[in-house]
Structure 1
Amino acid sequence: MKPGIPQTPPLEWPNNRILFGIMLRLLAMAALGIMFALVKLANDAGVHVGESLFWRQLTGLPVVIVWLWWNNDLTAIKTHRPSLHAIRMTLGLTAMALNFWAMTLLPMAEATTLSFATPIFATVLAALLLREQTGRYRWAAVMAGFAGILFATRPGGSDIAPFGALVGLSGALLTASVSIQLRRMTRSETTGAIVFWFSLSSLLPLGLIMFFVAKAHSAEAWTYLAGLSFAGACAQILLTAALRHAPVAAVMTMDYSGLLWSVLLGYFIFANIPGPGVWVGAPIIICAGIVIAWREHFLARKAAKG
């Protein structure tokens, strides 16, 4: 599940709308894959990760504003809990930085595989911090997921660079922490307020970082920056639109199609072929994530029916 999106109530959705929502989610994953490929290319062209983040967020802010205006939700950005948004921005921006950094340190397929550990970490954090009841199905999925991570990273092996793996898993852990913070925030804050204030407030630290890392670039590098910013904005629109046409449970598993794009783009652009550990570990991690998502949806529907 993407951070910041509350659980969708168990409503009846027309099949054609659900199919359209799934297609939009698949397109969003393709856009994200293109964005991360361009992040790697920009890094190779001398662009600092801080610059990529700044231009990604700067481009995304108008998208958020237009989205709120289109849905007549501009008044929803009012908040009386700025401290919650400050924590969310700190966690979210750090997670984004780690995920971008992991993409520059690792082949795309490996970095994407490690990002799939997010729901596994989120389940553990929810049990520890929110005292959520976590049954045997989800704990079994968590254990299987961690086994998949061990297969993918092969500690002491040579499939994935240890430092890159550490950065990638740290990004997944911080992304999971964001989801925990968002569960707390949605009790008092609207989705519009959460998305808007993150997009706006993150530009403040990123603007300061730009003073230290910004520099002149070639036309090629600026093309990569423009491309990743545009792809990121498109992904943001598609992710939001998908959830307007289909329930979360119907589209969330489409996120794992991102691995396909990472493998293809990594091969055709960077000539990277995933190691054997990834081919074994990735399916285990994906299956664990699907079990966790299915179990959360099942329990939510059961609670809604009373």
Structure 2
Amino acid sequence: MAHTRMAGSQPRSSHALQGILLRSIAVVFFALMSAAMKWASEGGASLVELVFFRSAVGLPVTLAWLALGPGIGAVRTKRPGAHLLRSMIGMVSLTMLYQGLMLLPIADAVTIGFSAPAFATLLSVLVLHEKVGPHRWAAVAIGFLGVFIVARPSGSALPLAGIVYTLLGAAASAAATVTIREMSRVETHGSIVFWFFLSTTLVSGVGMLFHSAPHPPFTWALLLFGGVTGAAAQLLLTRALQVAPVSVVAPFDYTQIIWAALLGWLIWSTLPGLNTAIGAALIIASGLATAWREHRLHKDMVAATPPIE
């Protein structure tokens, strides 16, 4: 039976293009946020200040988004303990990733950070007891091989501490993803984002009492710019997922490596080396293969589900 398009509705391809556009702009903002925070750290901003501005600016933006969309009541929760755990993991991830960003060239830090999907696969087996087939295990192996090549442990020009911090941040980011997947069964996206930003703002706000210091106006401007672009990226990311499937928009996340490399060249006159380029290609291939495999499994599961009549 032919389906009649509802008046005023857009074709599916239009929604997909809109989602891709939103996701692509979000990725640019994420790259700008990373560059601003790294630049601010070179101007004397502490790690605590980076985390605080990322969270404190994101909190009112999240509240505004809730007020205009699902409503402030969306923050109500029946699982405060789960939110506390997710927020703690998220704070560890944000802190570790920013510490790595302060120590590594921006392109290398962003590239290594994209190892999170490989860690997420490992954690989904250990925590959620998901079954992972040979295709996804192969993708995990390829992803970690890419990280190994970027890190180039023999004769590496990259600080070992920066590599370790970024890998810890990627692992914590994967743990947060797994936690969110489990929480999403009963919690709204708005409540998860709100309680994370609130928790991080409060904790880093206490830290600001001890680690905040006077800075030149340019450093303060960079911190504020980093917070604004990070909040804008989060909103665009959320909207992209509302209008298009994750399997359509997720591959465009990896363009952040290109933008990071461009910003690294424009601001710091550094370009990623051959190792970074090869490792990035492997990490991207690993992430895309994992996303495609999960998309196919989801489609098969939907196809196997009998329709409700």
Q: TM-score range by the shorter chain?
A: over 0.9
Q: Is there any run of 5+ residues in structure 1 with no aligned partner, and where?
A: 1-11
Q: After superposition, where does 1:184-195 map in structure 2 within 5 Å?
A: 184-195=182-193
Shift of 1:160: 2.1
Deviation per CA, 1:4-60, whole angstroms, max 9, x where unpaired? xxxxxxxx9611121011011111110111111111110011011211211121111
Q: Does the Cα contact within 8 Å between 2:100 and 2:161 map onto a contact in 1?
A: no
Work out which of the residue numbers 263, 272, 291 in structure 2 matches 1:274. 272
Work out which of the residue numbers 47, 50, 53 in structure 2 matches 1:49. 47
Matching residue of 2:195: 197
Matching residue of 2:212: 214
Matching residue of 1:83: 81
Equivalent residue letter for 2:147: I
- Give the superposed CA RMSD: 1.3
Q: Does the Cα contact within 8 Å between 2:146 and 2:279 map onto a contact in 1?
A: yes
Q: After superposition, where does 1:135-174 map in structure 2 within 5 Å?
A: 135-174=133-172
Matching residue of 2:294: 296
Q: Does the Cα contact within 8 Å between 1:73 and 1:192 map onto a contact in 2?
A: no
Deviation per CA, 1:104-157, whole angstroms, max 9, x where unpaired? 110011001101100000001111221101011101111111111111111122
Matching residue of 1:250: 248
Give 3-state SS (helix, strand or coil) of 2:271's partner: coil
Give 3-state SS (helix, strand or coil) of 2:155's partner: coil
Equivalent residue letter for 1:85: H
Task: Supply the distance in 1 between the matched residues of 2:216 and 2:74 (Cα, whole angstroms).
Answer: 41
| Structure with the greater alpha carbon radius of gyration | 2
Matching residue of 2:6: none
Matching residue of 1:287: 285
Deviation per CA, 1:225-277, whole angstroms, max 9, x where unpaired? 12111111211121112112211111011100000001000011011121221
Matching residue of 1:23: 21
More deviation, 251-260/13-22: 13-22
Equivalent residue letter for 1:161: P
Equivalent residue letter for 1:172: A
Task: Supply the distance in 2 between the matched residues of 1:34 and 1:72 (Cα, whole angstroms).
Answer: 28
Equivalent residue letter for 1:190: T
Matching residue of 1:178: 176
Q: Is there any run of 5+ residues in structure 2 with no aligned partner, and where?
A: 1-9, 305-309
More deviation, 284-293/213-222: 213-222
Matching residue of 2:118: 120
Work out which of the residue numbers 61, 71, 75 in structure 2 matches 1:63. 61
Q: Does the Cα contact within 8 Å between 1:159 and 1:277 map onto a contact in 2?
A: no
Q: After superposition, where does 1:95-134 map in structure 2 within 5 Å?
A: 95-134=93-132
Q: TM-score, normalised to structure 2's length?
A: 0.93
Equivalent residue letter for 1:251: V
Equivalent residue letter for 1:239: L
Number of residue pairs aligned between Structure 1 and Structure 2? 295
Task: Supply the distance in 1 between the matched residues of 2:12 and 2:184 (Cα, whole angstroms).
Answer: 27
Give 3-state SS (helix, strand or coil) of 2:253's partner: helix
Shift of 1:72: 2.9
Matching residue of 2:90: 92
Task: Supply the distance in 1 between the matched residues of 2:33 and 2:58 (Cα, whole angstroms).
Answer: 13
Equivalent residue letter for 1:216: P
